[in-house]
Amino acid sequence: MFDTKVAIVVLDDLQTWQKLNVTAFLATGIAGGAPDAMGEPYVDSAGRRYAALLGQPVMIFAADRSTLLRSRNQALTRGLACAAYVEAMFATGHDAANREAFASEPAEEPALVGIAIRGPKKDVEKAIKGAKLHP
């Protein structure tokens, strides 16, 4: 049904609140970076408007650090939309501090705790090879 795929891969040994936090942030990264992925706003039966959501399913996967890094590298090599969250961002309190923490990570081996990628379905599937659907 969709030519593209959205996948979020989180580190498998995070605490539950961390997994949820990372997933939420990464989903907004895809929404902000790929406006064409957004659906139309929602309207309830009383006519009240709600924000638009991503217009396709988002699959959530779990992986170890090496698989996360490999998936990130594959996403970048394939030119896929990619959002990333690093461990140091858990200790920050606002966007500017998050970006500073992210920028201070070693570019080739950041301490990734999650990534989100979107692009052609086959390319995303190749990029996330080794990650398992989150239980």
pLDDT digits (tens, 9 = 90+) for 56-97: 999 999 999 999 999 999 999 999 999 999 999 999 999 999
Domains of the chain with CATH codes: 4-133 (3.40.1490.10)
* pLDDT digit string, tens, across residues 87-131: 999 999 999 999 999 999 999 999 999 999 999 999 999 999 999
**What is the value of pTM for the model shown?**
0.94
- List Cβ<8 Å contacts ≥24 apart for 13-16: 13/64, 14/113
